[in-house]
């Protein structure tokens, strides 16, 4: 197979685009997909301060490198989750990546904030993945707002987005369906959030890391056993295998035809958002989930004395 752009031997095939590329042309394809996402949703400009959440995984590191290559003013943000035999490795990967790139990095250690994920796992009898996600989003938003960033970016790829869309659709969750998308404006105490990789698959971000020699964390979280998200991804991958391009079509048609309906429904039926009485974070309750979680953990520690 030859590269569809330059005619050199192709090293990656992309059935969803009916094409294949050599490494150099694939990098150009990747860049153009990111550029198209940013331009279409008017995400941000070269004059904006951009905060990129870095987990240490392939997607977030690929996004950070690409935005740097395109000349954006980017700073990394890593949330150290304090998970034994896991978090230390992810943090080391992120620190080395930013050091090699000469890029600024902010680190928040949740243990210092009284929110150790290891402690939460022991003390709270609820699915840990959901709680972990809430903790990370809280600090993403807090750092972005407190330190004057114009945009908060995450490395969610197309597979992440359609997996989440399928999950929300199966539950017909109006609140989540109304705010699902690659671009969310700054409002109600939330920073502007963007997902510039939404047009690229997990396979494509992995290839980008391979071709550009980006070392990333490949370890599976020790708390992720039993998570349902990989099952939904597998279902969608089966569909994509039989009908290449179906994932992107599904997602883009939702954004164009269905999302506006859910936004209107949420505006009519949704609970009003107001600042948390304790920390000021936006919530639909008097006290936000994170402050309530802190109280539960503090009570647990007190009971152990």
Binding residues for Zn(2+): 3, 6, 22, 25, 276, 279, 288, 291
Q: DSSP readout, 132-184?
A: HHHHHHHHHHHHHHHTT-SEEE----HHHHHHHHHHHHHHT-HHHHHT-SSEE
Residue numbers belonging to the annotated binding site: 3, 6, 22, 25, 53-55, 59, 79, 155, 160, 276, 279, 288, 291
| Cβ contact 275:189 at 8 Å | yes
Structure tokens at 194: 């963007």
Residues in the chain: 305
Instruction: Give the whole-angstrom CA distance, residue 240 versus residue 65.
Output: 28
DSSP code, position 295? H
Rounded Cα gap, residues 227 and 85, in angstroms? 20
Annotated binding-site residue numbers for ATP: 53-55, 59, 79, 155, 160
CA distances from 66 to 35, 119, 132, 295 (A): 10, 36, 27, 40
What sign does the dihedral 85-88-91-95 (CA atoms) show? Answer: negative
> DSSP code of 253?
H
Alpha-carbon distances of 148 from 84, 178, 296, rounded to whole Å: 32, 26, 31
């Amino acid at each position: 197979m030859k590269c569809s752009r330059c005619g050199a031997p192709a090293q990656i095939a992309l059935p969803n685009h009916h094409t294949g590329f050599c490494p150099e042309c694939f990098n150009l394809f990747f860049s153009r997909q990111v550029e198209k996402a940013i331009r279409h949703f008017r995400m941000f400009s070269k004059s904006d301060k951009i905060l990129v959440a870095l987990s240490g995984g392939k997607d977030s590191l690929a996004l950070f490198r690409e935005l740097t290559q395109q000349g954006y003013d980017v700073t990394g943000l890593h949330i150290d989750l304090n998970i034994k035999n896991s978090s230390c490795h992810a943090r080391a990967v992120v620190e080395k990546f930013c050091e090699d790139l000469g890029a600024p990095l902010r680190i928040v250690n949740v243990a210092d904030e009284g929110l150790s994920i290891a402690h939460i796992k022991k003390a709270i009898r609820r699915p840990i993945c959901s709680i972990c996600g809430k903790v990370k989003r809280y600090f993403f938003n807090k750092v972005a707002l407190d330190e004057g960033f114009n945009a908060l970016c995450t490395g969610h790829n197309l597979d992440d987005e359609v997996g989440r869309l399928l999950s929300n659709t199966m539950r017909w969750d109006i609140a989540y369906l109304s705010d699902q998308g690659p671009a969310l404006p700054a409002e109600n105490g939330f920073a502007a959030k963007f997902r510039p990789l939404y047009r690229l698959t997990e396979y494509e971000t992995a290839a980008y890391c391979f071709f550009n020699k980006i070392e990333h964390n490949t370890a599976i979280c020790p708390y992720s056993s039993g998570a349902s998200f990989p099952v939904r991804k597998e279902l969608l991958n089966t569909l994509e295998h039989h009908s290449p391009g179906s994932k992107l079509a599904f997602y883009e048609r939702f954004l164009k035809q269905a999302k506006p309906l859910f936004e209107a429904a949420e505006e009519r039926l949704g609970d009003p958002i107001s600042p948390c009485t304790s920390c000021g974070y936006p919530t639909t309750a008097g006290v936000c989930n994170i402050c309530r979680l802190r109280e539960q953990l503090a009570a647990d520690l007190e009971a152990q004395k």
